[in-house]
Structure 1
Amino acid sequence: MNVLFVCLGNICRSPLAEAAFRQQCPDISCDSAGTSDWHVGEPPYAPMQTAARARGLDLSDLRARQFTRDDFTRFTHIFAMDENNLMQIEALRPAGNTTPVRLFAPYARDGLTDVPDPYYTRDFEEVLDLVDRAVRSLAIAMRA
């Protein structure tokens, strides 16, 4: 089982989800990516790293990369942080590929479809809380 978390730039939401999921499920392989190439090779956004570190999550070793068509064969589960990312991922789907691509936020079970982007909202705590709830629920689902 391989899990991929995808957001826009791979500097806030998806690396946070990757780190949180690794902490909850160290036995399940995971990674993160962005649908854009704006930050390829860069570490996660500094304010996101600071907020995550305060909650015991270390993002410092992660580097942004862009989602590619190959990710459909490399991963068994792909989770998009918002509907726009989901559409961009699906636009790259190879013909005949059946890898499930789902929205991540619904796993938090609070009625949201999208994980808000803290790069724009500046509400890192809200995103940390949402990702924590979603990861806990996803971890249970993955082990079922």
Structure 2
Amino acid sequence: MGMSKVKVLFVCLGNICRSPLAEGIFKKKVEEKGLADRFVIDSCGTSNYHIGEQPDRRTIKNALANGVRLNHQGRQFTVQDFNDFDYIVAMDSSNVQNIEKLRPVGSDKQIMLMRSFDEAGLNKDVPDPYYGVENGFQEVFDILDRSIEGLVNHVVLEKGL
């Protein structure tokens, strides 16, 4: 009997900048630890703006410059995600509020803030680079890279991987 996989979901607003990048970084980090087969990793948005779309080309370009390959089609967060995922990680406090609106009755699933693992900006929002300047994407990458390092270590310890 196979061990059940740990399911991790990253959530932002549109699912084309921050959350697919977080998904890609998390995948890379668990691959480097030899744990890729223990995880199901996905991302989504709380809005319906970009369903079916590829990530923002600036995000793809920035990810590649940092050695991370993205392969994701945008989708919207659903009530089912509450049941399907062990860890739901939101990029900012407004995403947390959007997710909470869909919380099923009786669910005690904790919604985590991405930067709850970022000592350089504890519990701050991951800024949305969409309307910003090009180097905003690298700033977001660095924030996510730090935060996800902490998240991976947390999950590995908590799940005994």
Give the TM-score band, short-chain normalised: over 0.9
Q: Establish whether residue 63 from structure 1 lines up as the match of residue 73 from structure 2.
A: yes
Q: Establish whether residue 53 from structure 1 lines up as the match of residue 64 from structure 2.
A: yes
Instruction: In structure 1, give the amino acid aligned to 2:141.
Output: L
Instruction: In structure 2, give the amino acid aligned to 1:36.
Output: S
Instruction: In structure 1, give the amino acid aligned to 2:121.
Output: G
* Structure 1 residue 106, shift from structure 2 partner: 2.2
Percent identity over the alignment is 45
* Structure 1 residue 29, shift from structure 2 partner: 1.5
- Tell me if structure 2 keeps the 8 A contact 1:76–1:100: no
Whole-angstrom distance in 2 between the partners of 1:111 and 1:125: 16
Aligned to 1:18: 23
- CA-to-aligned-CA distance 1:55-74 (integer Å, 9 cap, x gap): 01111x21100000000000
Q: Establish whether residue 4 from structure 1 lines up as the match of residue 9 from structure 2.
A: yes
Whole-angstrom distance in 1 between the partners of 2:116 and 2:80: 26
Q: What secondary structure does 1:94 align onto?
A: coil
Q: Establish whether residue 40 from structure 1 lines up as the match of residue 51 from structure 2.
A: yes
Q: Which has the larger radius of gyration?
A: 2
Which of these residues, 76, 101, 108, is aligned with residue 118 of structure 2? 108
Normalising by structure 1, report the TM-score: 0.96
Let me know the Cα RMSD of the aligned residues. Answer: 0.9
Q: Establish whether residue 126 from structure 1 lines up as the match of residue 139 from structure 2.
A: yes
Q: What secondary structure does 1:106 align onto?
A: helix
- CA-to-aligned-CA distance 1:16-71 (integer Å, 9 cap, x gap): 00000011122321100000000000000001100110001111x21100000000
Q: Once superposed, which parts of structure 1, at least 4 consecutive aligned residues long, lie more than 4 Å away?
A: none
Q: What secondary structure does 2:16 align onto?
A: coil
* Structure 1 residue 107, shift from structure 2 partner: 1.0
Aligned to 1:138: 151
Unaligned stretches of 5+ residues in structure 1: none
Normalising by structure 2, report the TM-score: 0.86
Aligned to 1:91: 101
- CA-to-aligned-CA distance 1:84-128 (integer Å, 9 cap, x gap): 000000010000012221110121211242100010223001000
Instruction: In structure 2, give the amino acid aligned to 1:116.
Output: P
Q: What secondary structure does 1:3 align onto?
A: strand
Aligned to 2:33: none
